[in-house]
Amino acid sequence: MKRGIVSTGILALLVGLAGQAQASRLGIHGVYSSGGDVEESEVGIGAQLELPINPILSVELAVTKFSDEIEGNDTAIDQDLTSIGISAVFRGPLGPLGPLGQQLEGYTLFGANYNSFDIDKMEADDAVGFHIGAGLNLPISYNMELFTEYRYTFLETEWETELSDMEEDYSYDFGVAKLGLNFLF
């Protein structure tokens, strides 16, 4: 009997929370990679889709592409990285901002991402990494918001140079600073 009452209560709570879900988001962003093993970054681009589960939790699918330069032994090697990530996003209001009183919103996220490399003079295995991050949203109209975010990825892969057939493990942790625009629907 108790189990049935508790189960019914939890189900009612979940249905109530889902009915108050936040808006879905579709957006674009510019990125600059920094931190970790990034040596010389160029500006990149990306896009994301976020679907709410309840008022504080949503799921985001993001694609980001950026270029970087690996330096070593008097040589510089260019690489392009495409990262496809899925994240759990936890949101909460931070309070009004400015004379118009727009509601500033903060969020944290974590998840996994699939990373594909295109590296000059090397072959690198695609690899799955894990990321954590945080960001801020600022509404600019009823269906648009600006956002800024920093996401850090922990990544291990294997690579092989054209000069040697020997494979080596390669740690490529990186951070990505994002600035973008979301459309809410």
Domain ranges for the chain: 22-184
Residue type, 126: D
Residue type, 159: W
Is 62:85 a contact under the CB 8 Å cutoff? Answer: yes
DSSP E strand boundaries for the chain = 25-36, 40-41, 43-52, 57-72, 75-97, 102-119, 122-124, 127-141, 144-154, 156-161, 168-171, 174-184
Q: Any idea which of 47-51, 94-98, 150-154, 158-162 has the lowest mean pLDDT?
A: 158-162
Which option is the CATH number for 22-184: 3.40.50.300, 2.40.160.20, 2.40.50.140, 3.40.50.280?
A: 2.40.160.20
More confident residue, 43 or 90: 90
Residue 14 pLDDT > 70, yes or no? no
pTM: 0.79
Residue 21 pLDDT > 60, yes or no? no
Q: What digits encode the pLDDT tens for the residues 144-173?
A: 999 999 999 999 877 666 555 556 666 788
Q: What digits encode the pLDDT tens for the residues 109-129?
A: 999 999 998 877 677 778 899
